[in-house]
Amino acid sequence: MEALQTFTPIIFIRTKGRLRANDGPRHDTRIVEAIARAHYWQGLLDDGRFASISDLARAEGLQPTTVARLLRLTRLAPDVIESVMAGEQPRRLTLYWLQRHDIPMTWGQQRVVLKALN
């Protein structure tokens, strides 16, 4: 009788100097938290609790530019947000990237830009 061999493909990736198995979706909690914070802040601005981004930034102890960069995340297409929540975002999409690059206004253009990050 011949021995049965089972192979499980494992891809190892290096994260923060450590080697780990890539075992499925990878949730970027920094992006998830930033999206949630941006929507919360936008709600505060919409409700009139803060008159401006500067007022909000002062209350949060942040620079207005930091708050403004994070508020841009509220423009992300719903399917882009869903992919981030599911851990299926493009591999090169990071919070740093989102803060340093302009996010297109139209959802179709967002999808094209983000697809290029795969």
What's 96's domain CATH number?
A: 1.10.10
pLDDT of 111 > 70? The answer is yes
Is residue 55 a part of any domain in this protein? yes
Is residue 46 a part of any domain in this protein? yes
Quote the pTM value.
Answer: 0.77
Is residue 48 a part of any domain in this protein? yes
Ramachandran area for residue 9 (φ above 0: left; ψ -120 to 50: alpha; else beta): beta
pLDDT value at residue 7: 59
What domain range includes position 95?
24-115
Burial of 114 (0-12, 13-18, 19+ CB in 10 A): buried
The band of 23, judged by pLDDT with boundaries at 50, 70 and 90, is: low
Is residue 96 a part of any domain in this protein? yes
- Give how many domains the chain has, as a whole number: 1
pLDDT of 75 > 60? The answer is yes
pLDDT of 54 > 70? The answer is yes
Is residue 94 a part of any domain in this protein? yes
Instruction: Choose between 114 and 7: higher pLDDT.
Output: 114
- Contact between 112 and 91 (Cβ < 8 Å): no
